[in-house]
Amino acid sequence: MTGTLEILVAALILLGAAFILIGSLGLLRLNDVYSRLHAPTKATTLGIGAILIASMLNNARLGTFSVRELAITLFLMIAAPLTANLIAKTVVDGHNAKDTPER
């Protein structure tokens, strides 16, 4: 017999996996490197956030209570803009170095 909490955990796992699939599909199919920077950030925050909420609800369903999973979400939300900025800087520096004429 399935309770509401189990259905909620299953729905959140499916939502998180769907966001991760959409993020990687965007990384595969978009046709410019600047556009490809946008897609995996959705997978990072929304996908892992949903899976972490599902894990916390599963712990609540089984009796133990833990909020340690919020640490991963917090760290990823802090780290994602930094990595995106550095990767964009790498791409822009590569393009600028190609455009400047050789001395």
Partner 1 sequence: MLILAIYTGYAAIGLAMAMNLWRLATGPEKGDRILALDTLTVNAIALVLIYGLHIGSAYYFEAALLLALMGFVSTVALSKFLIGGDVIE
- Binding region for partner 1 (CB under 8 A): 2, 6-7, 9-11, 13-14, 16-18, 20-21, 23-25, 27-28, 33, 36-37, 40, 43-44, 47-48, 51-52, 54-55, 58, 62, 64, 66, 68-69, 71-72, 75-76, 79, 82-83, 86-91, 93-94
**Which residues make Cβ contacts (< 8 Å) with residue 44, sequence separation at least 6?**
23, 76, 80
Which CB sits closer to partner 1, 2 or 100?
2
The amino acid at residue 77 is M
Chain-centroid distance, C-alpha 64: 26
Residue number with CB closer to partner 1 (31 or 101): 31
Of 89 and 102, nearer to partner 1 (C-beta) is 89
Report d(CA 20, CA 46) in Å as an integer. Answer: 8
Nearest residue to 80 (alpha-carbon basis) of 17, 23, 11 = 23
